[in-house]
């Protein structure tokens, strides 16, 4: 992952040349120390990345949390997250209303909304655990996020159909960061030209297993060209929580 380090400009000093030189050398040393501290703080959670690539697919995958910490975070989320019910637990697909085959919740910065599948969701205030995970993802990637979609799958029967996260209010320069906790599940990418009976090309799908404590970054232009899904896996009896962190641009919503 590329690291972005904040650069600071020097301030002009009108003192004598010798004092100015000493001052600049002191400032330079202090600046270097501060930049090193900033870099250590912003990227204080280094992980080994695995690159996943195909035609117009660009993803990065890593184990973000140890099993012990992932277990703890899963338990905390089970206590903190409040999931949608009633009409908020439904979506529109091709004009028809369907119950979502999993539990879902939205959290983020105050006043943010996110519209997908014909439904607009208002962000609830960040919980302590969601805020902690968001900050770890930011320190790992150098990206900032202001919204998260939480999906809870009670077992392998709960699933997610093929779709793209390409809503207009999402920042196209920011990856979608997907954190998985709980039972490992298959995650499948399928190119838009290789779907259904009217497929135009033969492009093999890309299949991953998202592990407990893992982070998947879906970089641009992945969500333009590839659909993704979490299919039914009847033999999986355990729950899974997935967090997809996003950056919503307010000016695009107007």
User: Which amino acids are annotated as binding site for substrate, given as ranges?
Assistant: 94-96, 114-116, 166
Query: Quick one: which of 155, 221, 145 has its CA closest to 178?
Result: 145
Query: How far apart, in Å, are the Cα atoms of 59 and each of 154, 161, 231?
Result: 26, 20, 19
209: which strand partners? 186
> Cβ neighbours of residue 178 under 8 Å, at least 6 residues apart?
210, 215, 216, 217, 218, 242, 243, 244, 245
Please give the annotated binding residues for 2-oxoglutarate, written as ranges. Answer: 151, 153, 163, 228, 240, 244, 246
Asked if 56 contacts 226 with a C-beta cutoff of 8 angstroms, the reply is: yes
Query: Known binding site: residues?
Result: 94-96, 114-116, 151, 153, 163, 166, 228, 240, 244, 246
Taking the C-alpha atoms of 216, 222, 227 and 228 in order, what is their torsion angle to the nearest 10 degrees?
A: 0
Calculate Rg over the CA atoms of the chain: 22
Chain mean position to CA 18:
51
The dihedral through the CA atoms of 58, 162, 96, 147 has a sign that is negative
User: 239 near 154, Cβ under 8 Å?
Assistant: yes
């Amino acid at each position: 992952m590329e690291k972005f380090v904040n650069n600071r400009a020097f301030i002009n000093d009108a003192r004598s040349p010798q004092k100015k030189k000493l001052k600049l050398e002191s400032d330079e040393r202090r600046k270097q120390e501060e930049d090193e501290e900033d870099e250590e703080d912003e990227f204080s959670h280094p992980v080994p990345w695995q690159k996943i690539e195909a035609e117009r697919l660009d993803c990065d995958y890593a184990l973000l949390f140890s099993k012990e910490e992932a277990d703890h975070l899963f338990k905390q989320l089970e206590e903190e997250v409040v999931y949608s019910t009633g009409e908020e637990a439904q979506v529109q697909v091709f004009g028809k209303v369907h119950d979502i085959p999993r539990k879902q919740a939205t959290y983020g910065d105050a006043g943010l909304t996110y519209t997908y599948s014909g439904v607009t969701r208002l962000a609830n205030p960040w919980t302590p655990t969601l805020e902690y995970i968001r900050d770890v993802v930011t320190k790992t990637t150098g990206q900032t996020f202001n919204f998260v979609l939480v999906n809870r799958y009670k077992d392998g029967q709960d699933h997610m159909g093929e779709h793209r996260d390409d809503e207009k209010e999402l920042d196209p320069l920011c990856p979608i960061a997907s954190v998985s906790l709980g039972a490992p599940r298959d995650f499948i990418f399928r190119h838009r030209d290789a779907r259904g009976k009217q497929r135009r090309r033969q492009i093999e799908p890309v299949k991953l297993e998202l592990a407990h404590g893992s982070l998947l970054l879906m970089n641009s232009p992945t969500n333009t060209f590839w659909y993704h899904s979490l299919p039914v896996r009847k033999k999986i009896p355990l729950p899974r929580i997935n967090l997809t962190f996003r950056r919503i641009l307010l000016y695009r919503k107007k």
